[in-house]
Chains A and B, each alone.
Chain A
């Protein structure tokens, strides 16, 4: 029923879009969102990027977006609709839009597509993602330094490589400070359900976690942490307003620079299919202010952030051991990009099975 509903909502929105008149001389840039721009998390940051395009290139570009588009067949329909309406560039901003994006792209060779966090490309389909895990490593270090119980709780959405990578990076960061640090993982199997995210946070806290971090799209978990007096980290956007005492820092996605650059490339006719995996060095991942922590922890977090930004340090530097004890990267090596992108294994110390 819920699927049916969101599908109906998607169709209704898509048809509302078709009624808007489009000036023929402007490049139309479309966005497909998994949640509402008001989630104050993942979609919110993508919408900030869209608004940045409007602000910078508004005289040559018109942006449109469709929100709450479920992953699956409805996505294909909605993307097709956008392409039919003359969008020249379409950003599909969730992992599950991967196959729909490629299918539609094959039918519209003149339209450029940009798929976030995926790994399948075509001549007119680029992929882009952020090295969120760099931020995860930093907050892992902070967690291990500030936690009293030595246990952190991690709320995951779906067990896909992007999320697993974040979990591993977090734990590697924590283990660099405290080798015995424990991590409990709870999957809510949803990107956006504030109530369930809050439930998961409560469950983790009652199981002994005194640091909560989440890879879901709302601010609910952070708020529970504030209420129950444990620490938390913001995800995707700065969530300090929801947990002024509990929040230590946030990992902030910055899509604006990338979106403006890609739109400019289409305007200039220089757009080619690429694979972008930018991190702190490309200004695609930012850290929020480090607050509510002692000065030495803050100094350590800042030093790690600076080292990652300068390219001097890689969070997946060896030795990295998989959960089963096998070696993923030896001393002096770094886990290779292919394993990072398709990561389907935990590092040692995660209290969960994939």
Chain B
């Protein structure tokens, strides 16, 4: 494996969990719901995925369990914020705390056990192509899932009726309701989708990135994903770019250190954040664009009139 392949592979591994978690949250926020519980759903996905894979020996069962773990947490969030109309910010934070605690409890029997790694895709001949084979045809399956989901979400939001309904619900829930759309049901579906991709992101950590269960192993990635959604001004293409920018700057920072360039490590560690902020500033100079895409009823609970 050449050096540039190693760099790109590491960047992809670092960026994929961010992209997976963020693409779901993008849909959730497009429907007008702010779910701050990504970290909690992600860590639950990680522990459920690891546990199921370890017990069954099948990484794919682990992926399934991770999705279910994430969805379960998201439905709890949905029930609280959509049915009981609790404050979304507080509920999201509570979901994060609950997820971190509950995952520690579930995972206490799985600490220190070797995990099952999700095998990389291997297509005969294609995966062995020089230079691009390993990069394009030899990734782990979840990388393709993350890219596929991004494309699907972009298409769905922009060109389909469903996408229009989700955006309408997010822009003005009262208008959407008046038009006869079931606002709460749409939001439940979006929240569950967000839970599923957060669970997948967790599975990526415990089955691909570092195949083991360690308490708190998400280490704040849910929050980065949340920031990326805002960074992208709720556009899937920009979201993918943002996730790869963040992962790329982070990994190149490590390379700069390993090559002994003499740049202070603290500066390099802060670079992904600095780069993200700079990009955000540049994007937000186009006010019209950011205003158009911001879901107008983001974070507001909806109570239908009787």
Residue positions of A touching B, CB distance < 8 A: 1-2, 5, 8-9, 12, 35-40, 68, 153, 159, 184-190, 192-200, 202-204, 206-207, 218-220, 223-224, 227, 241-242, 351-353
Give the residue among B209, B212, B257 with the most A Cβ atoms within 10 A: B257
* Contacts A202-B6, A206-B3, A242-B114; A2 near B254 (Cβ below 8 A): no
Residues of B within 8 A of A159 (CB): 265
Give the distance in Å from the alpha carbon of A35 to the alpha carbon of B104 in the complex. Answer: 12
Q: Which residue of B lies closest to A352 (CB)?
A: B260
Give the distance in Å from the alpha carbon of A227 to the alpha carbon of B209 in the complex. Answer: 11
Residues of B within 8 A of A200 (CB): 254
Give the distance in Å from the alpha carbon of A187 to the alpha carbon of B267 in the complex. Answer: 11
Contact at A38–B96, with CB atoms within 8 Å?
A: no
Contact at A223–B219, with CB atoms within 8 Å?
A: no
* Contacts A5-B39, A8-B97; A38 near B214 (Cβ below 8 A): yes
Identify the 3 closest CB pairs spanning chains A and B, nearest first: A2-B220, A36-B215, A187-B265
Residues of A within 8 A of B219 (CB): 2, 190, 192-196
A186-B257, A206-B3, A206-B6 given; 20 more Cβ-contact pairs under 8 Å: A5-B97, A36-B104, A38-B107, A38-B112, A153-B258, A184-B258, A188-B269, A194-B219, A195-B17, A196-B219, A196-B250, A199-B13, A202-B13, A207-B259, A218-B214, A218-B217, A227-B117, A242-B112, A351-B260, A352-B260
Contact at B112–A1, with CB atoms within 8 Å?
A: no
Can you report 20 A-B residue pairs in the complex whose CB atoms are below 8 A from each other? A9-B101, A38-B107, A38-B108, A38-B215, A186-B258, A187-B257, A188-B254, A189-B265, A189-B266, A195-B221, A196-B219, A198-B210, A202-B9, A203-B255, A206-B1, A206-B10, A219-B212, A223-B212, A241-B112, A351-B260
Contacting residues of chain B (88-104) with chain A, CB-CB under 8 angstroms = 93, 96-97, 100-101, 104
Contact at A9–B97, with CB atoms within 8 Å?
A: yes
Q: Which of A36, A185, A219 contacts B216 (CB 8 A)?
A: A36
Give the distance in Å from the alpha carbon of A46 to the alpha carbon of B68 in the complex. Answer: 34
Residues of A within 8 A of B6 (CB): 202, 206
Q: Which of B205, B226, B227 contacts A195 (CB 8 A)?
A: B205
- Please encode chain B, from 235 to 258, with 1 for each CB lying within 8 Å of some chain A CB and 0 for all others: 000000000000000110011011
Give the distance in Å from the alpha carbon of A120 to the alpha carbon of B93 in the complex. Answer: 37
Residue positions of B touching A, CB distance < 8 A: 1, 3, 6-7, 9-10, 13-14, 17, 39, 93, 96-97, 100-101, 104, 107-108, 111-114, 117, 205, 209-212, 214-217, 219-221, 223, 226-227, 250-251, 254-255, 257-260, 262, 265-266, 269
Contact at B211–A223, with CB atoms within 8 Å?
A: yes
Give the distance in Å from the alpha carbon of A1 to the alpha carbon of B89 in the complex. Answer: 13
Contact at A241–B114, with CB atoms within 8 Å?
A: yes
Q: Which residue of B lies closest to A237 (CB)?
A: B112
* Contacts A5-B39, A8-B97, A192-B219; A38 near B265 (Cβ below 8 A): no
Measured CB to CB, the closest approach of chain B to A167, in angstroms, equals 13
Q: Which of A5, A36, A185, A207 contacts B255 (CB 8 A)?
A: A207
Classify the interface of chain B: helix, strand, loop or mixed: helix
Contact at B215–A195, with CB atoms within 8 Å?
A: no
Measured CB to CB, the closest approach of chain B to A9, in angstroms, equals 6
Contact at B111–A192, with CB atoms within 8 Å?
A: no
Give the distance in Å from the alpha carbon of A196 to the alpha carbon of B13 in the complex. Answer: 11
Give the distance in Å from the alpha carbon of A281 to the alpha carbon of B1 in the complex. Answer: 45
Give the distance in Å from the alpha carbon of A153 to the alpha carbon of B259 in the complex. Answer: 11
Give the distance in Å from the alpha carbon of A304 to the alpha carbon of B117 in the complex. Answer: 38
Contact at B255–A1, with CB atoms within 8 Å?
A: no
* Contacts A195-B219, A203-B254; A39 near B214 (Cβ below 8 A): yes
Give the distance in Å from the alpha carbon of A61 to the alpha carbon of B231 in the complex. Answer: 52
Q: Which of B7, B111, B254, B258 contacts A38 (CB 8 A)?
A: B111
Give the distance in Å from the alpha carbon of A8 to the alpha carbon of B108 in the complex. Answer: 22
Contact at A199–B14, with CB atoms within 8 Å?
A: yes
Residues of B within 8 A of A224 (CB): 210
Give the distance in Å from the alpha carbon of A224 to the alpha carbon of B93 in the complex. Answer: 33
Residues of B within 8 A of A186 (CB): 254, 257-258, 265
Give the distance in Å from the alpha carbon of A2 to the alpha carbon of B226 in the complex. Answer: 11
Q: Which of A40, A207, A241 contacts B214 (CB 8 A)?
A: A40
Q: Which residue of B lies closest to A156 (CB)?
A: B265
Contact at B260–A203, with CB atoms within 8 Å?
A: no
Give the distance in Å from the alpha carbon of A153 to the alpha carbon of B97 in the complex. Answer: 35
Give the distance in Å from the alpha carbon of A219 to the alpha carbon of B266 in the complex. Answer: 23
Contact at A194–B214, with CB atoms within 8 Å?
A: yes
Q: Which residue of A lies closest to B4 (CB)?
A: A206
Contact at A195–B255, with CB atoms within 8 Å?
A: no
Residues of B within 8 A of A40 (CB): 111-112, 214
Measured CB to CB, the closest approach of chain B to A289, in angstroms, equals 17
* Contacts A9-B97, A38-B111, A195-B205; A204 near B258 (Cβ below 8 A): yes
